[in-house]
Amino acid sequence: MVTRSAAGRRPVRIVVVEDHALVREGTAELLERDPGLTVAGQASSAEEALKLIGALRPDVALVDVELPGMNGIALARAVAGQVAETRVLILSAYDDYAYVIGALEAGVAGYLLKTSSARELCDAVRTAAGGTLVLDEAISRRLTRRWRSGPDSTSPALTARESDVLRLIAQGLPNKQIASQLGLGLRTVESHVSSVLGKLGLTSRTEAALYAVSHHIALPERGSRQG
C-alpha cells in the first residue's frame, strides 16, 4: 500500500475523461486548484482516453459513465487490464445501483457523483490513488439504509479476523494476497470470505466491498491523505 502518491511528495497525476467540455474543464480546473493534484490530460471519449492513459500512465483516471461509444465502465475494465498503475474513479451524474455495482465489478477504485463538492472530489481522488475503495457519501448512505432495512438488521458480529478479511476485500485484493498479507493459508482465507458473505447476507465480493465501505469498515488509510 505504500505508493508514490501515498508518500505525499509528488502530486497525484490525473486524467479526466468526460464528454461534456464545460464540465470536463471545470473538473480539471477544480482539481488543479488542489496543490496535491495535477491534471495530466483530458479526453472526451473512452477510446481517446485509453490511448492517453496508456501513454501518460496517470495515478487516477476520473471517468464519466455515459460516454459516446464505449462507456466508462468498459473503459474501467480495459484500464484495469492494461494499465496496472492507474486507478479508475467513476464520476457520474447518476447514482443508479446498476452503475455502482457494474463499476465496482469492473474493478474501479471508487464511485463519485458529480454533485459532490470540490473538497469531496479532491479527497476521493487522493483516497483512490492510495488504493482504497471510495464511495460517494450519498450512495454510501443509500446502501447503508438498504442493509439496515434488510433482514439482517442487527449488525452481525464478525470476528476480528473476518473484519480484517472484509477490509482487504474492500481494497480489492484477491484471496491469495489477502492470505499473504494476513499470514494465513489460502483455504483459511476462503473459509473466512464465505463466512463473511454468509453472515452479512451478501452474494459477491463486490457487495462485500460496498458493505465495508458504507459501514466504514474499510476506512481510507490516513497515510494517503495530504491534508
Residues that bind another protein (CB under 8 A): 1, 20, 22-23, 26, 30, 65-66, 71, 73, 76-77, 79-81, 84-85, 87, 93-99, 101-102, 105-109, 114-115, 117-118, 131, 142, 145-146, 149, 151, 171-174, 177, 204-206
Comparing CA positions, the residue from 12, 119, 125 lying closest to residue 63 is 125
- Minimum distance from residue 57 beta carbon to another protein (Å): 12
* Distance from the Cα of residue 74 to its chain's centroid: 15
Give the residue with the Cβ less far from another protein, 157 or 190.
Answer: 190
With beta carbons less than 8 A apart as the criterion, state whether 208 and 197 touch.
Answer: yes
For another protein, the closer CB: 80 or 157: 80
What minimum distance in Å lies between the beta carbon of 10 and another protein? 20
Which residue, 48 or 95, has its beta carbon nearer to another protein? 95
Distance between CA atoms of 173 and 35, rounded to whole angstroms?
A: 30
Question: Is residue 57 a contact partner of residue 86, using CB atoms and an 8 Å limit?
Answer: yes
Within 8 A by CB and 6+ apart from 97, the residues are none
- Residue 97 amino acid letter: Y
CA separation for the pair 150, 141 (Å, rounded): 14
Query: Nearest distance from residue 104's CB to another protein, in Å?
Result: 8
C-alpha cell at 111: 464511485
Cβ proximity to another protein: between 12 and 157 the closer is 12
Instruction: Choose between 54 and 157: whose C-beta lies nearer to another protein.
Output: 54
Q: Distance (Å, rounded) from C-alpha 191 to C-alpha 197?
A: 10
Nearest approach, Cβ of residue 156 and another protein (Å)? 18
Q: Which is nearer to another protein, 56 or 93 (CB)?
A: 93
Q: 220: which DSSP letter?
A: P
Whole-number minimum distance, CB 142 to another protein, in Å? 7
Helices 205-214 and 186-200 pack at an angle, to 10 degrees, of 70
User: What is the Cα–Cα distance from 53 to 69, expressed in whole angstroms?
Assistant: 17
- Min dist. Cβ of residue 174 to another protein (A): 5
